[in-house]
Amino acid sequence: MKRLVYLAAAFLIVVGLGIFYFSPKNFTLQEAVLDKLDTNNVASIEVIKREQQGEHTKNVTNSEEINEILNSLSAAKLKKSRASDIQFTESYWMTLKTKDKGRAYGLTLYDNDYINTFEYNAAVPKNSSRSYKITNDFDAAAIRNAFK
């Protein structure tokens, strides 16, 4: 009888650890990208807006606009995703460039639903690209305002 209790307890522990380990982790874009980057060192953000009417490019160099975009992005709550075929109506391709290293990160925002990140010059190249689903009501107004 004791052996059965120990086996049941061990089974529950293994199942609990498996659920904890394999459950999707939620975090913010701040934790995923911006904490790895000195945001005060960002010199410019190149933004390419792609929609049905075509593509438009804007190079944001004003530090206030840069901070506004980065603050807006930091509020996005994320969950890792394997979205390979994303349906979208508008996307924003952003390249964060620093004063000393040039291109540091690439971000692609699809509507307000998904975001892909790419780390230029990553130590482990296979880990340089990540896909995420945005899980909160993220507002991309700061990015859209760059085109007004």
* Structural domain contains residue 42: yes
* Structural domain contains residue 81: yes
Structure confidence by residue, pLDDT tens digits, 110-128: 988 899 999 888 777 776 8
- Structural domain that includes position 134: 25-145
Number of domains composing the chain: 1
Measured distance between the N- and C-terminal CA atoms of the chain, rounded to whole angstroms: 73
* Structural domain contains residue 78: yes
Structure confidence by residue, pLDDT tens digits, 84-94: 677 888 899 99
CB atoms under 10 Å from CB of 132, counted, come to 22
Taking CA atoms, 5 is separated from 16, 64, 144, in Å, by 16, 62, 60
pTM for the model stands at: 0.77
CATH code for position 106? 2.60.40
Structure confidence by residue, pLDDT tens digits, 52-63: 888 899 999 998
